[in-house]
């Protein structure tokens, strides 16, 4: 009988009285979850999630107790999330699970509108931006394709078919060295992780509460199949396979503010430090409605052969994520400087309406293949493997459309210090009716692009360990690791240089300025009207447009020249057919990044003290061809660089008695600059009279890697029934820190230096200066096994991270001003209440992530992410061979993305990375699932 069948058997044979007791405990949990919306849950809520998979695993790493055991026996400071815990938490992807690990936080930015999907995408470790982490799948480097960041998008990894996820906060020298934050290793199962034959089917339905409220598509569902078998003499062979398909629908509502100016006219244009202004006024506001259809599918496969002296394996994985999304915007501008299509500017007196459409379609996929083995020769053991991986990010036929109306001579006041309330006040009912009407704005132009970036990675790894007989030297280890990445990227604008436009022609063939748009009115474009927008924050009718209108204009006409100025009439006319090679190639990059690494380490023992002392050396050889635009000419230019990093480390573990473990570590680590900073297309500007080069804008292949010295110390206590208590302190000193944007979908931004070189101004990204981070982590988990009867299944967990950071960006406009580290909240904590007995599971969790620096500005009011909090609830019951589960994510309907200008909530934030929205609501998400195993 498998572990899972034993579980179901116990559930089926439970006495009615025990179930009544369990129900009373569940009632307590429900009461606490209700209080969570107000006060009580913030004091004692539970980490939990849907028990939506039958637990039939036998490997110790698959259970919560086994994960704690692995953590206890590790040399490093780690956190291990087991398959059992993954199954217990409501999750759209693995980020939702990892964000409950002490010291970790999950997020999505609004680059390409990601936060509006309701799913998180990235993970930070101890407040270090996710691009400063290393990511592995079954121990091999996961290919990453986004040129804008070294961060790995984890939305491709659903919480299905995983054995465990391990977070290593103090890596040893045998692990990747480019890990200032740490290493996240995602593990998939093998047949040897199960006690016997296993077949499992998991299905669930999903419902998005906000999408239902707004009259959109709200349903979805998941289906997953899993099989494990061992065969051959003595069961030496094993095969495991899982496949899944997941589809969800969601909608999001967002507001953002733009065009901040000093309120006092005397300060306008004179005060550049907005923190010293006597208040700011907004000159524009934008409302965005998002609708999304998310699909992910893939699977894992392993074939293993194991004997006492030899093992061989073949492992493969594939993950595909695809979002089909629409973003519709209504905008209102009051007195902001605007641009005519012929390049002239004006500052209107009055109010101008606008609307906007943008597709948010994206596709991400990654696949890995690994072949390897291990040989045990008594004292000598050898491990060896070769691997290949591929990743792709793509945005095909990415279409946008702009709508405008003439300026109304009236007035409007914009006040969104509280984004949940209507902050619009119009000077007259006539102005309000004009600005909010659907027939005021008309389609002016469309534009679009095709873009993709790929990364093919080939690797080989060899490790050897020699067991020394006796004495203080326990073991010697060493190894070599090679990874070669082939990267390609392009972005083909549809209509010529710098994005171009395909404007709507008037009946006489003239392209009008945007203030006199000639296309259909917003009300005439096919679509549907929302019943409300953010409960009336936008007081007019909000219409979601049908994408086919914009696609029909843009896609058939792509790869034409942009529209130029008619020198006779001063109006803009089209110039079809003049699309150039430069227009097509201007954002193309092809490159190779090879990483050669070697390490050596000694495992030492002095009684109860264990030490691993080692050193790793990583050598990076980078070479790329980037397209350079030089007037009408263009061609590839080569950029290259090589550098090495020596990374010593020392990890100590002291076990004075079985319940306690003390750890200490000091190590050096680094982080390579984002690929888009070292390899990016170039542009050359020339004097129109002499043809001499005036300036060059380019990437910087000579950027230094950020380097860090990391210090860690911890004390851990392990009790019975999975009880754990731990406290950690840590400090990081970082040099050459690069403030690089983490927004998806765009080139990274960093410190830019413009300096004359031989009479030519060269603009390129440069390294920042230094940064540091100091923090304290606390974590406790306890099951009240000492309580009688059903009450013994009740448990509680509390974790908290408190930290402080300081950084000097080196930006000239900051004049040495110190800031926080981006994405490093000062406070994070999780409160958990859980129950597990008689086949009943209940989980309530409260999660809080404090204020975070989001980005730097030159006006001294940097952008911040306001604190976010969420409550998740899950319930399940196992009987016979089946588990039925119910879960709610974001139970209390909190806002999970809230960006401001400055630390306070006084000024709502501005646009970032091609995404619209600074206050984003996505609502609650419900799932109802069933799993059946035999």
**pLDDT tens digits, 410-441:** 999 988 888 888 888 999 999 999 999 999 99
Lowest-confidence range among 194-198, 408-412, 560-564, 745-749? 745-749
- pLDDT, the chain, mean: 86
| 71 contacts 80 by C-beta, under 8 angstroms | yes
Q: Is the predicted pLDDT of residue 14 greater than 50, yes or no?
A: no
Burial of 603 (0-12, 13-18, 19+ CB in 10 A): buried
- Say what the pLDDT of residue 903 is: 94
- Say yes or no to pLDDT of 751 above 70: no
Distance CA 317, CA 67 (A): 23
**Most distant pair of Cα atoms in the chain: their distance:** 94
- DSSP state letters, 841-893: EEEEEEEEE--EEEE--SSS--EEEPPEEEEEEEEEEEETTEEEEEEEESTT-
pLDDT at residue number 42: 29
- Report which of residues 190 and 267 the model is more confident about: 190
Cα 573 to Cα 564: distance, rounded to the nearest angstrom: 6
Distance CA 732, CA 708 (A): 6
Kindly report, residue by residue over 102-144, the tens digit of the pLDDT.
888 888 888 888 899 999 999 999 878 888 999 999 989 999 9
pLDDT band at residue 4 using 50, 70 and 90 as cut-offs = very low
Q: What are phi and psi of 721, to 5 degrees?
A: 55, 40
Q: Which residues contact 507 (CB under 8 A, 6 or more apart)?
A: 518
Element (H, E) at 123: strand 122-125
The two tokens of residue 464 are 């050897």
How many Å is the Cα radius of gyration of the chain?
29
Cα torsion 889, 891, 896, 902 to 10°: value is -160
Banded model confidence at residue 342, pLDDT cuts 50, 70, 90: very low
Measured torsion, CA atoms of residues 432, 433, 434, 437, in degrees rounded to the nearest 10: 120
CA torsion 111-114-115-119 (nearest 10°) is -150
| pLDDT, greater one: 234 or 508 | 234
* 886 pLDDT more than 60: yes
For residues 22-32, give the mean pLDDT: 36
Mean pLDDT of 646-657: 95
pLDDT at 27 over 70: no
| pLDDT band of 561, cuts 50, 70, 90 | low
| Beta carbons within 10 angstroms of residue 453's beta carbon | 22
Do 52 and 929 meet the contact criterion of CB atoms below 8 Å apart? yes
pLDDT of residue 182: 95
Decide if pLDDT at 22 tops 90: no
Q: What is the pLDDT of residue 183?
A: 95
The average pLDDT across 387-400 equals 95
Identify the H or E element spanning 17. helix 16-36
Terminal alpha carbon distance of the chain:
10
Dump pLDDT digits (tens) for 54-66: 333 344 557 888 8
Residue 30 has pLDDT above 60, yes or no: no
Write the CB contacts of 648 (distance below 8 Å, at least 6 apart in sequence).
173, 614, 615, 616, 667, 668
Residue 797: per-residue pLDDT:
94
What's phi and psi for 567, nearest 5 deg?
-70, -20
CA distance 421 to 535: 9
Distance (Å, rounded) from C-alpha 521 to C-alpha 442?
Answer: 4
């Amino acid at each position: 009988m498998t572990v899972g069948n034993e579980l179901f058997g116990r559930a089926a044979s439970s006495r009615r009285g025990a179930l009544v007791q369990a129900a009373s405990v569940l009632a307590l949990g429900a009461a606490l979850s209700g209080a969570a919306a107000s006060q009580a849950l913030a004091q004692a809520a539970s980490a939990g999630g849907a028990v939506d998979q039958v637990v039939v695993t036998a490997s110790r790493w698959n259970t919560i107790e086994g994960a704690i055991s692995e953590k206890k026996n590790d040399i490093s400071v780690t956190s291990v999330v087991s398959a059992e815990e993954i199954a217990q938490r409501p999750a759209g992807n693995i980020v939702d699970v990892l964000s409950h690990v002490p010291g970790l936080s999950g997020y999505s930015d609004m680059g390409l509108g990601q936060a509006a999907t309701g799913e998180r995408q990235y993970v930070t470790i101890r407040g270090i931006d996710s691009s400063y982490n290393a990511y592995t799948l079954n121990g091999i480097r996961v290919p990453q394709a986004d040129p804008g960041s070294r961060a790995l998008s984890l939305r491709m990894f659903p919480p299905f078919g995983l054995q465990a996820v391990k977070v290593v906060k103090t890596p040893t020298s045998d692990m990747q060295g480019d890990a200032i934050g740490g290493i996240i290793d995602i593990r998939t199962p093998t047949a040897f992780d199960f006690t016997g034959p296993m077949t499992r089917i998991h299905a669930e339905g999903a419902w998005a509460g906000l999408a239902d409220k707004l009259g959109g598509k709200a349903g979805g569902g998941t289906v997953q199949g899993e099989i494990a078998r061992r065969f051959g003499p003595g069961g030496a062979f094993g095969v495991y396979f899982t496949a899944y398909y997941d589809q969800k629908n969601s909608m999001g509502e967002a507001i953002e503010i733009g065009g901040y100016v000093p309120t006092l006219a005397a300060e306008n244009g004179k005060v550049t430090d907005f923190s010293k202004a006597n208040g700011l006024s907004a000159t524009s506001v934008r409302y965005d409605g998002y609708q999304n259809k998310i699909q992910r599918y893939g699977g894992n496969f392993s074939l293993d052969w194991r004997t006492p002296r030899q093992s061989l394996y073949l492992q493969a994985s594939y993950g595909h994520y695809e979002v089909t999304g629409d973003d519709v915007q209504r905008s209102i501008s009051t007195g902001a400087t605007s641009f005519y299509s012929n390049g002239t500017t004006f500052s209107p007196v009055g109010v101008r309406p606008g609307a906007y459409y943008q597709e948010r379609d994206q596709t991400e996929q990654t696949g890995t293949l690994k072949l390897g083995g291990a040989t045990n020769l008594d004292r000598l053991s050898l491990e060896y493997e070769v691997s290949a991986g591929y990743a792709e990010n793509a945005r095909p036929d990415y279409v946008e459309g702009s709508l405008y109306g003439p300026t109304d001579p009236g007035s409007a006041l914009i006040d969104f210090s509280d984004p949940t309330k209507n902050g619009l006040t119009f000077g007259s009912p006539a102005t309000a009716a004009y600005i909010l009407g659907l027939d005021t704005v008309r389609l002016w132009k469309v534009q679009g692009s095709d873009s993709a970036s790929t990364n093919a990675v080939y690797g080989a790894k060899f490790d050897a360990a020699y067991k020394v007989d006796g004495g203080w030297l326990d073991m010697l280890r060493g190894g070599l690791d090679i990874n070669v990445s082939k990267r390609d990227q392009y972005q083909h604008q549809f209509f010529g240089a710098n994005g171009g436009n395909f404007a709507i022609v008037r009946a006489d063939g003239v392209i009008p300025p945007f203030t006199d748009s000639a296309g259909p009115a917003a009300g005439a474009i096919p679509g549907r009207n929302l019943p409300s927008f953010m409960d009336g924050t936008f007081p007019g009718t909000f219409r979601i447009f049908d994408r086919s209108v914009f696609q029909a204009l843009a896609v058939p006409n792509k790869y034409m020249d942009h529209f130029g100025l008619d020198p006779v009439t001063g109006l803009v006319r089209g110039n079809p057919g003049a699309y150039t090679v430069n227009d097509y190639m201007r954002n193309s990059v092809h490159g190779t990044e090879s990483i050669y690494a070697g390490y050596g380490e000694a495992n030492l023992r002095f009684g109860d003290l264990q030490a691993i002392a080692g050193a790793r050396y990583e050598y990076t050889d980078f070479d790329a061809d980037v397209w350079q635009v030089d007037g009408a000419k263009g061609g590839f230019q080569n950029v290259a660089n090589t550098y090495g990093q020596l990374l010593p480390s020392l990890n100590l573990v002291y076990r004075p008695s079985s319940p306690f473990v003390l750890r200490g570590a000091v190590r050096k680590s680094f982080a390579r600059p984002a690929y888009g900073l070292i390899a990016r297309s170039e542009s050359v500007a020339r004097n129109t009279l002499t043809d001499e080069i005036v300036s060059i804008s380019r990437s910087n292949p000579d950027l230094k890697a950020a380097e860090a010295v990391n210090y860690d110390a911890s004390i851990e206590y392990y009790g019975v029934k999975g009880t754990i208590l731990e406290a950690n302190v840590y400090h990081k000193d970082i040099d050459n820190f690069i403030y690089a944007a983490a927004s998806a979908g765009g080139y990274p931004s960093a410190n830019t230096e413009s300096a004359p070189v031989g009479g030519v101004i060269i603009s390129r990204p440069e390294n920042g200066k230094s940064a540091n981070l100091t923090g304290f982590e606390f974590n406790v988990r306890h099951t009240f096994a000492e309580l009688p009867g059903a009450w013994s299944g009740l448990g509680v967990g509390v974790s908290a991270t408190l930290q402080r950071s300081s950084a000097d960006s080196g930006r000239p406009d900051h004049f040495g001003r110190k800031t926080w580290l981006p994405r490093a909240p000062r406070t994070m904590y999780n409160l958990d209440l859980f129950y597990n007995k008689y086949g009943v599971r209940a989980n309530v969790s409260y999660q809080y992530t404090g204020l975070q620096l989001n980005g730097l500005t030159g006006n001294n009011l940097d952008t911040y992410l306001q604190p976010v909090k969420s409550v998740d609830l899950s319930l399940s019951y196992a009987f016979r061979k089946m588990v039925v589960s119910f879960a709610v994510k974001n139970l209390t309907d909190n806002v999970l993305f809230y960006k401001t200008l400055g630390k306070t909530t006084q000024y709502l934030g501005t646009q970032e990375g091609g995404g619209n929205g600074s206050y984003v609501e996505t609502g609650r998400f419900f799932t109802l699932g069933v799993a059946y195993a035999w």
